[in-house]
């Protein structure tokens, strides 16, 4: 049983020496005291080296990746009797980097005999011995470090020794914060330019998933040594979760500095694996093997590729090779499982993490990953138990800390269940639109399971978060992921609610339909789908359900398709890996849906189903595509011709030349600089006059006239855009812009016509929904109002004006079920007149014949406003009916002395409110 270290920190009065006393229970250490490491002063003992210039030059060669030359030069220096541990360290590091573990151990064993007080040699020896599978030697050197520091702590107060001891104690389980503050930070203070201290601090932060702190540390290190490959590699890892493009640039810079930097090569191979570009990943792994053919991670990543390609014999061989040097190292199975999890192979990933924990039950990274993967599989009880265990053992793990905080909030969610579907929502939101969520998911199950011939494996859990940060933590373990609306793991969907999306929420019905389609296709393929096909089918099915959902051809997409941004079908997953921009990522979704549409149109739905069946048994997607469509090269060419031809015919009457600048300034000012992406108004109008049929010129001119409130002038260019390219959505939609112009000019008839088209064709047009509600209510178009309200509820059911519109329309159309849903929702949205809402609900329940529910709502209304005359009359009517039940064949009796009809949609006469206020005083 391995145990963690128990550490006691003692602080003496100001001005005296700061002492660090650590009682380690871990048998690997045996350290009882480490005294005087942390002095009030900064004592620095320089290393003793011979031939300083030659040693520095050799260090530079090592930084450039000339490992063989370094090994040769350092070996010659050692043979010549050069004194100092640095030559031995250099030779051992060079041999270690090249995978010559036996040679590195030979050097270190001899060096440790000669330099009997060196902890740096022994710490490096521990790493080499572990990589060689010689755990006894690693333990011996660990014990020697403990004994050395116990005997003579004053010898280890220089920066290099502090960093070595900090790494040593952290690996043994010491408190990360104390290691950082009392070792790495003090090393920086004593020798500010000592880069290893910053690297060590950055690596510690990375191990705790604190990428922000890690980036800060590596950036500081880069300030001292911008050409250090280890620094650049660490910086790329810190950037990876938030800025993949920056990470990509940084990692390639590391390889420019050191073309043989093995960690950077493996990092790039991992990114290609994540992008399903296995051929490129293998090339980078082959390149890495020329540096160190024995490295465990190289073979672990090959095992991942073999698994993803369903080559299980090779997978087993690569795994055994990775474990060959270090059969007791849990990190091999952890790494394989971690990468499989990135590809949504959660069941397989779980098995690998269990293997890892069989080797080392205290290996916390595997335990953390296992907990997350179990949660993604919907196995909440075991998953949360593991997360709690890790958090208890490691209070500095950012992921488990975040997840535990989230679990407390999740415990307050409401669960709605229906036929194996579990919907977990904020309790208030569940009251407002929870039933609509369940209804939509039941429809999606019926439609999509029938279409894809799949029997759903339940339960399926859908969690909807009112906080974007909570969504990100549940989904990724860390805050971030602002571009994601929902994620499906197979049996579990996580989604942002409209409350988390500020003023411009996306259509939540489209999001849930999209994600539930993933449930069906991921289950059908056993989570063995490439990302492009999974996303493509889901976007395609959005559009099949409602043409206002999903992506349609925009001006930007048109330029990208007819330009150089179309990705071949055979490489489409790579479009999701490192997109040039967020627009390029969105275009990858759109193109994937077009590929699905093309496959169905040319080869039929049956062929798509056969491809999914092939994927379920492990056949790679490109191999399956070849089986049914011919060669991949032909498919790439045929799809490209098809989509380019179709796109050319849309808006073909317009000029699509893209100007150098496509934005317009609000005023003239000085002429724009070459780098500024904006024209002056005069330049924009001049360009329009010169290109009167150009799409971008028409857009610029219309927006310029609108900004100047020259409404009549804006109409011709907008009408021209609508005639030739009406499908543009968002802020560039000519339909939306012209509707605004007609509103400003007072032409409500034309405005109404355009708004109806916008709301019908654009699923996220919430502002237009609100305006259309206003116009249809004024026109008493109750059918139109009901339809508009339903479309508004699909975007944001938390907006009172939309719920009130549905209630008003339902009242006039005698649809009590819809009215009840709307009034119940309004009660959750902090209405000004809750008593009025309760009264309206009571009337609707009575209309449905549910008098007991109606009576309860009347009583709630009177609890809010005891002198509410209409409520009192309705209560009397209900009481009378309890004594003299009404004849069902006769209409409901009218209450005595009825109040004037309520025409304000749920509010009560002002005198009632005033009398209530007087009574309350």
Sign of the alpha-carbon dihedral angle for 723, 724, 728, 734 = negative
Q: State pLDDT tens for residues 614-665.
A: 999 999 999 999 999 989 999 999 999 999 999 999 999 999 998 876 666 6
Backbone angles phi, psi at 679, to 5 degrees: -95, 160
Tell me, rounded to whole angstroms, the distance of Cα 665 from its chain centroid: 35
Residues in the chain: 921
Q: How far apart are CA 448 and CA 521, in angstroms?
A: 9
Alpha helices for 461-570 (secondary structure H): 468-476, 508-524, 531-545, 555-562
Count the helix, strand and coil residues of the chain and give each as a percent rounded to the nearest 5. 65, 5, 30
Cα three-residue angle 668-670-676, rounded to 5 degrees: 95
Mean pLDDT on 238-247: 89
Question: For residue 694, what are the β-bridge partners?
Answer: 655
Between strands 460-465 and 421-425, the pairing is: parallel
Q: Closest Cα to residue 835, out of 886, 882, 753, 902? A: 902
Q: State pLDDT tens for residues 695-750.
A: 999 999 999 999 999 999 999 999 999 999 999 998 889 999 999 999 999 999 99
Q: What percent of the chain has pLDDT over 70?
A: 88
Mean pLDDT on 866-884: 87
**Mean pLDDT of all residues belonging to the chain:** 87
Q: How far apart are CA 372 and CA 400, in angstroms?
A: 9
| pLDDT score, position 665 | 61
Q: State pLDDT tens for residues 536-580.
A: 999 999 999 999 998 899 999 999 999 999 999 999 988 887 788
Q: How far apart are CA 842 and CA 831, in angstroms?
A: 16
The residue with greater pLDDT, 499 or 43, is 499
CA separation, residue 483 to residues 164, 480, 487, 557, 797 (Å): 41, 9, 11, 19, 21
Between strands 460-465 and 492-496, the pairing is: parallel
Q: State pLDDT tens for residues 169-218.
A: 999 889 999 999 999 999 999 999 999 999 999 999 999 989 999 999 99
Checking if the pLDDT of 493 tops 70, the result is yes
Report the predicted TM-score, pTM, of the whole model to 2 decimal places. 0.84
Q: How far apart are CA 680 and CA 94, in angstroms?
A: 60
Checking if the pLDDT of 909 tops 70, the result is no
DSSP string, 527-557: T---HHHHHHHHHHHHHHH-TTSS----HHH
Q: How far apart are CA 253 and CA 247, in angstroms?
A: 10
Alpha helices for 208-243 (secondary structure H): 211-224, 229-240
Question: Is residue 67 within 8 Å of residue 263, measured between CB atoms?
Answer: no
Residues with Cβ within 8 Å of 131's Cβ and at least 6 positions away in sequence, in order, are 96, 101, 296, 325, 326
Q: State pLDDT tens for residues 823-832.
A: 999 999 999 9
């Amino acid at each position: 049983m391995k145990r963690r270290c128990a550490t006691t920190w003692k602080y003496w009065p100001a001005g005296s020496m700061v002492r660090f006393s650590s009682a380690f229970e871990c048998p690997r250490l045996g350290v009882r005291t480490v005294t005087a490491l942390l002095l009030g002063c900064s004592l620095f003992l320089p290393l003793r080296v011979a031939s300083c210039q030659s040693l520095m030059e050799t260090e530079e060669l090592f930084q450039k990746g000339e490992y063989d030359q370094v090994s040769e030069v350092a070996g010659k220096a050692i043979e010549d009797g050069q004194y100092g541990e640095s030559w031995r360290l250099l030779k051992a590091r060079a041999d270690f980097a090249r995978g010559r573990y036996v040679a590195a151990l030979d050097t270190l064993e001899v060096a440790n005999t000669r330099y009997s007080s060196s902890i740096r040699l022994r710490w490096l020896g521990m790493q080499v011995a572990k990589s060689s599978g010689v755990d006894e030697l690693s333990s011996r050197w660990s014990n020697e470090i403990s004994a050395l520091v116990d005997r003579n702590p004053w010898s280890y107060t220089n920066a290099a020794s502090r960093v070595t001891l900090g790494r040593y104690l952290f690996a043994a389980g010491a408190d990360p914060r104390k290691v950082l503050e009392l070792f790495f930070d003090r090393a920086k203070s004593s020798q500010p330019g000592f880069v290893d201290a910053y690297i060590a601090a950055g690596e510690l932060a990375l191990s705790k998933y604190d990428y922000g702190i890690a980036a800060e540390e590596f950036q500081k290190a880069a300030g001292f040594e911008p050409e250090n490959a280890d620094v650049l590699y660490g910086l790329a890892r810190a950037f990876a979760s938030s800025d993949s493009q920056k990470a990509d640039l940084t990692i390639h810079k590391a390889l420019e500095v050191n073309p043989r930097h093995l960690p950077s090569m493996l990092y790039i191979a991992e990114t290609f694996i994540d992008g399903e570009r296995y051929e490129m990943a293998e090339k980078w792994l082959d390149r890495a093997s020329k540096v160190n053919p024995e490295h465990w991670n190289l073979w672990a990543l090959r095992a991942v590729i073999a698994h993803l390609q369903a080559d299980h014999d090779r997978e087993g061989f690569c795994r055994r090779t990775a474990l060959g040097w270090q059969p007791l190292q849990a990190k091999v199975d952890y790494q394989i499982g971690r990468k499989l999890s990135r590809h949504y192979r959660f069941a397989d990933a779980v098995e690998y993490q269990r293997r890892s924990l069989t080797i080392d039950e205290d290996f916390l990274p595997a335990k953390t990953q296992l907990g997350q993967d179990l949660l993604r599989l919907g196995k909440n009880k075991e998953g949360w138990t593991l997360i709690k265990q890790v958090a208890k053992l490691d209070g500095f793990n950012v992921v488990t800390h975040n997840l535990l905080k989230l679990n407390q909030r999740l415990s307050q969610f409401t669960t709605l269940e229906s036929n194996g579907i579990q919907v977990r929502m904020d309790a208030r939101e569940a009251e407002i639109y929870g039933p609509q969520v369940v209804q939509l998911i039941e429809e999606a199950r019926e439609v999509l399971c029938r279409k894809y011939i799949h029997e759903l494996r339940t339960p399926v859990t859908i969690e909807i978060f009112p906080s974007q940060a909570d969504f990100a933590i549940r989904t990724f373990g860390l805050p971030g992921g602002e571009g994601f609306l929902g994620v499906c793991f197979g049996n579990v969907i996580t989604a942002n609610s409209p409350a988390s999306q500020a003023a411009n929420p996306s259509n939540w019905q489209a999001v849930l339909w999209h994600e539930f389609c993933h449930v069906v296709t991921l289950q059908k393929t056993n989570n063995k789908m490439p990302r492009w096909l999974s996303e493509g089918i889901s976007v395609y099915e959005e559009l099949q359900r409602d043409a206002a959902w999903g992506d349609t051809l925009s001006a930007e997409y048109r330029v990208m398709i007819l330009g150089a941004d179309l990705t071949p079908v055979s490489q489409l997953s790579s479009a999701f890996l490192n997109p040039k921009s967020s627009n390029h990522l969105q275009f990858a979704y759109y193109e994937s849906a077009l590929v699905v549409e093309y496959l169905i149109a040319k080869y039929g739905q049956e062929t798509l189903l056969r491809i999914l069946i092939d994927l379920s048994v492990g056949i790679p997607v490109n191999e399956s595509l070849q089986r049914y469509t011919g060669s991949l090269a032909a498919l790439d060419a045929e799809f490209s011709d098809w989509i380019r031809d179709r796109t050319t015919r849309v808006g073909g009457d317009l000029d699509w030349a893209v100007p150098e600048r496509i934005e317009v300034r609000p005023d003239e000012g000085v002429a724009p600089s070459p780098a500024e992406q904006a024209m002056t108004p005069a330049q924009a109008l001049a360009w329009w006059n010169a290109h009167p049929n150009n799409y971008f010129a028409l857009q610029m001119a219309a927006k310029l006239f609108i900004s100047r409130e020259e409404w009549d002038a804006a109409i011709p260019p907008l009408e021209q855009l609508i005639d030739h390219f009406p499908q543009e959505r968002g802020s560039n939609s000519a339909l939306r812009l012209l509707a605004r112009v007609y509103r400003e000019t007072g032409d409500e008839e034309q405005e109404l016509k355009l708004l109806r088209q916008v709301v019908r064709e654009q699923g996220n047009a919430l502002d237009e929904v609100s305006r259309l509600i206003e116009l249809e209510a004024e026109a008493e178009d109750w059918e139109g109002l009901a339809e508009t309200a339903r479309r508004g509820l699909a975007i944001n059911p938390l907006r009172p004006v939309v719920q009130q519109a549905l209630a008003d329309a339902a009242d006039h159309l005698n649809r009590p079920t819809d009215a009840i849903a709307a009034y119940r929702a309004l009660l959750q949205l902090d209405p000004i007149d809750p008593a009025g809402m309760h009264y309206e609900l009571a009337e609707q329940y009575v209309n449905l014949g549910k008098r007991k529910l109606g009576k309860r709502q009347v009583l709630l209304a009177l609890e809010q406003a005891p002198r509410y005359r209409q409520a009192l009359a309705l209560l009397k009517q209900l009481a009378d009916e309890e004594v003299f039940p009404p004849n069902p064949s006769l209409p409901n009796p009218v209450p005595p002395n009825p109040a004037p009809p309520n025409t304000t949609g749920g509010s009560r006469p002002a005198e009632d409110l005033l009398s209530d206020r007087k009574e309350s005083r």
